[in-house]
Chains A and B, each alone.
Chain A
Amino acid sequence: MATRQGGLFFAYPTFSSCSSSCSVARLRRPIVATAVANMIRLHNVSKTFGAGPRAVTALKNIDLHVPKGQIHGVIGLSGAGKSTLIRCVNLLERPTTGSVFVDDKELTALSEVALRQARHRIGMIFQHFNLLTSRTVFDNVALPLEFMKLSKSEIANRVTPLLDLVGLSDKAKQYPSQLSGGQKQRVAIARALASRPQVLLCDEATSALDPHTTTSILELLQDINQKLGLTILLITHEMEVVKTICHRVSLISDGELVEEAEVGDFFTAPRTQLGRHFLNDFLELEPPRGLIERLQGSPCENSHPVVRLGFSGDAVSTPLISRLARECGVDVSILQAKVESIQDRTLGLMIAELMGDEADTQRAIAYLESHDLTVEVLGHVQRTA
């Protein structure tokens, strides 16, 4: 596990052939040691488009640190500023204020020439792939190397193993229009890796792909992260992406980072309303429709609380519900429940109606909270009997 943190171990020329089936250690990510240096640092970055009364603030005082070798996700709704944020890292978008550091180099202070040099060390892939239609697969991957003015033989030496890595050796002479979406993104990944970057920026890289292809691209990214120690910053609106490959996640809303956590923590206990919103959407854990209509905001006579319970760690394997019934004297009617594996953690979620008098149900909620469950009272429902 320590080797993945080994920093600049770049074994590009010795790639062995690998297809989508290659053995990625799925969902088993090491916990990142705090001592690892930050590869990407955004310090107090703000971005405003336009000026005067029509100015639009896309980013507000963003502070973001991504340690070397980590996969960091930024998730947010459309228009939250995700795209602007990732484009500020390689200065495709220059921040209005604040500074950007990649590998301890302050990009915002560099000259045009030095910035171009620095960009050779930062790969980027895009939602719509952005491959040149006039070039073959091989020549697309060669493009950044031509920009670096490498010789023809050096270019061939680098491109061939990269096509192997992404499993497209047999497509070298084809044009992008002859490829599927997933294959195009593989070419784009090979192209982004050609200049041997330390950082890979992924701008909604899987948003234009179907779920199956998304999985194979995510596996490839994870493979690259582990083999090459590449630091990956990705933006997405899909919780699935965060769940599958990210170590840490930041939540962006209205141009501000409102929450940041280890992925396991985020999925078990998001701290913000928006975080819970994303999680509930992802888990599709909502009370049955008929019940929602009967839910009331406050308790009244003969009503029961409906609660959403989240439990992780030891709580998952403890028979809490039956203990609840015994110790607090309430009956529990389970309306929905599911168990998810996220990273090395197990996450349980449940929607349940707690049946008993008010004092008992209050005691039951306190009991659950004392056992490290998150308890959210969704409302109260009148007893029908």
Chain B
Amino acid sequence: MSSALLNLILSATAETLYMVFVSGVLSALVGIPLGVLLYVTRPGQILPNATLNSVLGIITNIGRSIPFIILMVALIPFIRILVGTSIGTNAAAVPLTIAAIPFVARLVEGSLNEVSPGLIEAAQSMGATPWQIITKVLLPEARGGIFTTLTITVVTLVSYSAMAGAVGGGGLGDLGIRYGYMRYDSTVMLITVAILVVMVQGFQSLGDYLVRKSDHK
């Protein structure tokens, strides 16, 4: 293998990790609070608000129903305004983040749903504020589930980032398509896939470790 190809593979790997990292962190920062809001504004919950709950629910569902490849293309004008260009890793991180936010939100909502209602009731009986219930009861009790959510999200982002590569996002997907597919270079294709497999395994193992560590049930 030539050193040029090696450099190509290394930089493509770094690009993929960068895209996954940026979109992972941003979607967690927005998606977790959104998931909490979806949960606590339900009727009968600690901050019931039917209007807000259904508006957020509809937005989340719309976000989840748009196929990623269409979302990417549809967002191009918006990405240009936001990042200045529609190609490159920064540009690719935008649709990745936007696609992952509703995904994270729904899974976090599901994790919170697993917390026993009795714990919320106990906290209320102790005079806890809704904010204290969220930060001291709901989120810590759902920690394992939230780590599982984030692991699934990151793994999904790895494969979505390969799709982003197809429209000029860079990264391993881009490399695989240009060298592996278009130039019939099966070595590059295999290496690309191998790196993606290792990456997914690594993220999954890290996630499993964090889930195990936070689980005292």
Residues of A within 8 A of B214 (CB): 134
User: Is the C-beta of A29 less than 8 angstroms from some C-beta in chain B?
Assistant: no
Q: Least Cβ distance of A252 to chain B in Å?
A: 21
Asked whether A195 and B126 contact (CB < 8 A) given A130-B119, A132-B140, the answer is yes
Partner of B216, one of A115, A177, A201: A177
Partner of A130, one of B116, B127, B216: B116
Query: Are A90's CB and B125's CB within 8 A?
Result: yes
User: Is the C-beta of B80 less than 8 angstroms from some C-beta in chain A?
Assistant: no
- A130-154 residues with Cβ-Cβ distance < 8 A to B are 130, 132-135, 143-144, 146-148
User: Is the C-beta of A175 less than 8 angstroms from some C-beta in chain B?
Assistant: yes
User: Is the C-beta of B217 less than 8 angstroms from some C-beta in chain A?
Assistant: yes
User: Is chain A's binding surface mostly helix, strand, loop or mixed?
Assistant: mixed
Partner of A148, one of B127, B137, B140, B141: B127
- B3-34 residues with Cβ-Cβ distance < 8 A to A are none
User: Could you tell me the distance between the alpha carbons of A126 and B214 in the complex, rounded to whole angstroms?
Assistant: 25
Query: Are A132's CB and B141's CB within 8 A?
Result: yes
Residues of A within 8 A of B125 (CB): 90, 92, 119, 122-124, 201
Q: Least Cβ distance of B113 to chain A in Å?
A: 16
- Among A117, A123, A134, A195, max chain B CB count under 10 A is at A134
Partner of B122, one of A116, A126, A134: A126
User: Is the C-beta of B85 less than 8 angstroms from some C-beta in chain A?
Assistant: no
Query: Are B216's CB and A116's CB within 8 A?
Result: no
User: Is the C-beta of A128 less than 8 angstroms from some C-beta in chain B?
Assistant: yes
Query: Are B118's CB and A120's CB within 8 A?
Result: no
User: Is the C-beta of B124 less than 8 angstroms from some C-beta in chain A?
Assistant: yes
User: Could you tell me the distance between the alpha carbons of A92 and B121 in the complex, rounded to whole angstroms?
Assistant: 7
Q: Least Cβ distance of A296 to chain B in Å?
A: 51
- Interface residues, chain B, with chain A CB atoms under 8 Å away: 116, 118-119, 121-129, 132, 136-137, 140-141, 143, 214, 216-217
The 10 closest A-B pairs by CB, nearest first: A119-B127, A130-B122, A116-B127, A144-B126, A175-B216, A130-B118, A124-B125, A134-B140, A147-B128, A120-B127
Can you list 17 pairs linking A and B with CB atoms under 8 Å apart?
A: A92-B125, A118-B127, A119-B127, A120-B126, A128-B116, A132-B140, A133-B216, A143-B123, A143-B126, A143-B136, A144-B126, A146-B136, A147-B127, A147-B132, A177-B216, A191-B126, A201-B125
Q: Besides the contacts A134-B140, A143-B123, A177-B217, what 5 more A-B pairs have beta carbons closer than 8 Å?
A: A119-B124, A126-B122, A132-B119, A143-B136, A147-B127
